[in-house]
Structure 1
Amino acid sequence: MKKLTTLILSLLISLLSFAQSHTTEITKNAQTYYDHMTNQNFDGVLDYMYPKVFDFASRDQMKAGMEQMFSSSDMKIEFLSNDVTNVSEEKIVEDITYAAVFYNSKMKMTFLSEKDKSAEDQKAFLDFMKATMDTQFGPDNVTSDAETMSLVINMDASMFAIKDPEYDGWKFIGNDDAMKQLVDSIIPESVRTTLLEEK
């Protein structure tokens, strides 16, 4: 009986340390991925992106799209922070390992095109943009600053971590409305459903 108890205990400890190691590894890689995004290091971001994404849009196209989005003369976008809050258990399907990564992101949008307009026009524009973002993210998650003509958006989001023997290390793919069709075509429905329930 004592041997059995010891065996079960050591098995539980090894399982726990395995779970911690996959969580630690994914968190570390995800944080590097987010740091690249925060620092606008687009090559770094693309290095961590699941390569099958490039079957739908080439790496060069993705980089050009990111550069265009972050260098608009009308609006400046900055990520203030991206922090992992939770990592799900792993799920393995056909030798590919999946996990869901839940994170909190703070993004700042500064409306450069409005800077030279009258105070009245600026207020009207900022109020309109805040109302629009309130609808999407909730009023408590959007703050406006009339002095800098900016909004700060606080959002909880998720993405998938994928360890595919075809590639080196953990890769990531965002889980949002814009990526839905792509995500649905890459990640099996049973995996998506199971992992996203583990928040």
Structure 2
Amino acid sequence: MKSLIILIFTLLISISSFAQSHREEVSKNAQTYYDYMTAQNFDGVLDYMYPKVFEMASRDQMKAGMEQMFSSPDMKIEFLSNDVTKVTDKKEVEGVTYAAVFYNSKMKMTFLSEKDKSAEDQKAFLEFMKVTMDTQFGEGNVASDPKTMSLVINMDATMFAIKDPQYDGWKFIGNDDAMKQLVDSIIPKSVRTELLKE
């Protein structure tokens, strides 16, 4: 009886450490992915994206789009921080393993095109943009800084981590409205439902 208890205890510890190891691995990879995003290392970001994303737009197109977005003469976008807050249990379907990653992101948008406008126009523009962003991200998650003509957006979001034998290591795909159709076509509904309810 005693040896059975020891065996069960050992098995539970090994299962929990195995479960922990996938969380640590996903969290570490996700943080690297976010660090690349913060540093605007787009090749690094794309290396961690789930390759089936490139069926929607090629890797080169995605990189060009990112470069264009982050080097606009009208608006400067910076990620101040991206931090993993939780990694769910994993779920395997047809040899592919999935987990959901919950994270917090802080982004700064500086409106360069408004710098030379009058103080009144700047104030009106910033107020308009804040109301717009409040609608999208929730009131209380958007702070405006009239001195720098910028908004800082704080958001909690999710993405999916995917370990597909076709590819090396964990890859990621954002879980947002822009990616919904693609996410729905790649990740089985049962997986999405179970992982996001945690």
- Which ranges of structure 1 fall in alignment gaps of 5 or more residues? none
User: Is residue 149 from structure 1 mapped to residue 149 from structure 2 by the alignment?
Assistant: yes
Q: Which amino acid aligns with 1:194?
A: E
Q: Which amino acid aligns with 1:5?
A: I
Matches within 5 A, 1:76-91: 76-91=76-91
1:107 match: 107
Whole-Å Cα distance in 2 between the matches of residues 43 and 102 of structure 1? 23
CA offsets per residue over residues 100-146 of structure 1, 9 Å max, x none?
00000000000000000000000000000001111111121110000
SS in 2 for 1:139: coil
Q: Which amino acid aligns with 2:121?
A: D
Whole-Å Cα distance in 2 between the matches of residues 66 and 191 of structure 1? 29
- Which ranges of structure 2 fall in alignment gaps of 5 or more residues? none
Over 6 Å off, 4+ runs: none
User: How many residues of Structure 1 are paired with residues of Structure 2 in the alignment?
Assistant: 198
The alignment's TM-score, normalised by the length of structure 2, stands at: 0.99
2:23 match: 23
SS in 1 for 2:140: helix
CA offsets per residue over residues 9-49 of structure 1, 9 Å max, x none?
11110011001100000000000000000000000000000
Shift of 1:5: 1.1
Percent of residue pairs identical = 82
Q: Which amino acid aligns with 1:164?
A: D
Shift of 1:7: 1.2
Q: Which amino acid aligns with 2:12?
A: L
Q: Which amino acid aligns with 2:25?
A: E
SS in 2 for 1:133: helix
Mean CA deviation greater in 163-172 or 135-144: 135-144
User: Is residue 180 from structure 1 mapped to residue 180 from structure 2 by the alignment?
Assistant: yes
Whole-Å Cα distance in 1 between the matches of residues 104 and 55 of structure 2? 28
Q: Which amino acid aligns with 2:32?
A: T
Whole-Å Cα distance in 1 between the matches of residues 163 and 5 of structure 2? 34
